[in-house]
Amino acid sequence: MSPPPPCSAIPTLRKLQWSHWFVITAVATFIFGRWLWIMPHGFPITHPRTLANGLLPALTFAGCLGASIACGRRSPIAVPLTAALPGLGVGLALGCLALYPYSMLTLKVAVLSVGLGYMVLAYVAFWWTMGKTVGRGKCISVFSGFLIVGICWAVTQRAALPTTLRLNIPPPDDPGVTRDVQPEPIVFRNGPSALYVHPFLEFRSLSPDRFWILFAPKLSDSWVPATTYSVDRRVENLITTWCQLDSDNYSHLNTFTELEFVAHGAISVSFSPCPDQRIAVRRSDYPYGEPARFAYLGADDMFHIAEAASGEKGPFTELASAQCSPNHLLEVTLYSDDKPAFVLRFDDFLPQCSRDLSPTAGWGVPQNSIQFHLAEDDPETAFFFFTLASTSVGCGFDSVGHQRGVYRNQIKISVVN
Question: What is the reported pTM?
Answer: 0.89
| Segment holding 50, helix H or strand E | helix 48-50
Q: How many helices (H) and strands (E) does the chain have?
A: 8, 20
| 195 Cβ neighbours under 8 A, 6+ residues apart | 187, 188, 189, 259, 260, 261, 262, 334, 341, 342, 413
Please give the helix or strand (H or E) that residue 80 lies within, else none.
helix 78-82
| Best CA proximity match to 106, nearest among 226, 22, 217, 272 | 217
Task: Check residue 184 and give its pLDDT.
Answer: 76
Strand partners, 373: 383
Q: Which pLDDT score, from 0 to 100, does residue 9 have?
A: 42
**Residue 410: per-residue pLDDT:** 93
**Interatomic CA distance for residues 167 and 299, integer angstroms:** 19
Q: Which residues, in sequence order, are CB contacts of 236 under 8 Å at separation 6+?
A: 412
- Do 284 and 291 contact (CB within 8 A), yes or no? yes
- pLDDT averaged per 10 residues, the chain (length 417): 48 72 94 93 93 94 94 89 95 96 91 93 86 75 94 96 92 69 81 92 89 82 60 71 89 94 95 96 92 96 96 93 95 95 96 96 96 93 97 93 94 91
pLDDT of residue 17: 84
> Using CA atoms, how far apart are residues 202 and 386, in angstroms rounded to an integer?
11
